[in-house]
Amino acid sequence: MARTAGRLTDGSRITDYLSLGVVAKTFPKALVEDVLRRTGKASERQRDLPAHVVVYYVIALALYMQASYREVLRCLLEGVQWLRNEDVDAKVAVRSSISQARIRLGWEPIRQLHDEIVQPIATEATKGAWFRQWRVVSLDGSALDLADEASNVAAFGKQPCKAGMETAYPSIRFLSLVENGTHVLFGSRMGPYAMGELTLAEEVVPHLKAGMLCLADRGFYSFKTWRMAKETGAQLVWRMKKSNTLAREEELEDGSFLSRVYESQNDQKQKRNGVVVRVVEYTLEGLADAEPIYRLLTTILDPGLAPAAELAALYHERWEIETAFDEFKTHLRGRQMNLRSKTPDLVIQEFYGMLMAHFAIRGLMHEAALKEGVDPDRLSFMHAVRVIRRKMTRFASLPPSGLARIPRKRAARTPG
């Protein structure tokens, strides 16, 4: 029997059936549309690029950083060739139409979708994700360069460099939590480069939850940030500058001691409103560049639950976040050194789209690691990116609700 290509009903658009199979599993169309409604960004009329399609397109931009805006859209639409016939032509929108669609969408629904979906994913079977009963996460920050546009410079500023000069491009500063075992970046927030990490931390640490154990470097300690993080119910192991004075109130059997931290020097002198902490101090012998002493503060007051030697070893796993940032900033972007959006709102949109793309990739890698019974760290992030790029157009033809709803003539040709 001769086969004829499946076709859309009159009035349907190919973009109605466009779904990125690689990311649609992570960001289901129903949830995307729900977020669009709640943020007031749902399409009010039929468009060539409706809002839910633009959401997937923003995520796809991060997977094709080397391609133009139109080429990214063309790449996605190639996956619906099996639906085409003489009466259906998948036209790639012009650059201005794509930009207008992104502007209509804005950054609010993208960040909302990010906040609701991008969360830690490790299970009890995930290797390297746990310290005793706690899920290990780390807190740190970095920067990203932007397109050199006047509006971006005005909104985000540039990084200072030597001799009072500035870098060539404007930059954003961002802060994230990372699930160490899976490299999932979550709770991320961004701002102008001049914004301090402690200021951003006040927006990020509320994403901690009970059952987590958070590692952080000495630059993040302040009484306010520590208290905010502690109130989430998470356990903390943060480094503290050795210049801070800490009284030894009680010596513990593992060599650590109990002390108190205070909001101000006056409170410390008066010994009022102090917060009890456990202090672990240690040295690293045999390392030429090691510092004379390392000092950790922790909310885990019982040494039986977390001995000092184990916490000292655990703290240095904080560097896992640097690997996650390298995936996000270098491997995902490739040679594209700057975010390409030319207005501040679209910079924010692109930033959270990149985080969502990274999360989708890491989710697939985590599934593969569980299936093979290996640590997710052993899998190649770049290999996963290449596979997803190859498969993107193949799976783009799958409608969000399944093939059964696609109207056909007779025996329609199957995709692929």
Q: How many CB atoms lie within 10 A of CB 344?
A: 20
Q: pLDDT digits over 221-241, tens only?
A: 999 999 999 999 999 999 998
pLDDT at 165 over 90: no
Q: Which is it for the CA torsion 233, 236, 241, 242, positive or negative?
A: positive
**pLDDT for residue 21:** 64
Better-predicted residue by pLDDT, 384 or 74: 74
pTM given for the model: 0.82
Out of 68-72, 295-299, 357-361, least confident range: 68-72
- Per-residue pLDDT tens digits for 238-273: 999 888 889 999 999 999 999 999 999 899 999 899
Task: Identify the pLDDT of residue 90.
Answer: 47
Instruction: Answer with the residue of higher pLDDT: 98 or 89.
Output: 98
Could you tell me which of 8, 109, 9, 96 has the C-alpha nearest to residue 53? 109
pLDDT reported for residue 12:
41
Exposed (0-12), middle (13-18) or buried (19+): which is 101, by Cβ within 10 Å?
buried
pLDDT digits (tens, 9 = 90+) for 351-377: 999 999 889 888 888 888 888 777 777
Q: Considering the chain, what is the average pLDDT of its residues?
A: 81
**Region of residue 273 (phi > 0: left; psi between -120 and 50: alpha; otherwise: beta):** left
What are the tens digits of pLDDT across the range 104-159?
999 999 999 999 999 999 999 998 899 999 999 999 999 999 999 999 999 999 98
Q: If you average pLDDT over residues 13-23, what whole number do you get?
A: 49
Residue 250 forms beta bridges with which residues?
Answer: 258
DSSP codes joined into one string, 123-159: -TT-TTSEETTEEEEEEEEEEEE----HHHHHHH-EE
pLDDT number for residue 80:
39
Q: Which residues pair with 330 in a beta bridge?
A: none
Predicted confidence at residue 17, as pLDDT, reads 39
> Other CB atoms closer than 10 Å to residue 333's CB: what's the count?
18
pLDDT at residue 82, rounded to an integer? 33
Share of the chain above pLDDT 70, in %: 76
pLDDT category of residue 181 using cuts at 50, 70 and 90 = very high
Identify each DSSP E strand in 293-382 by its residue range: 294-298
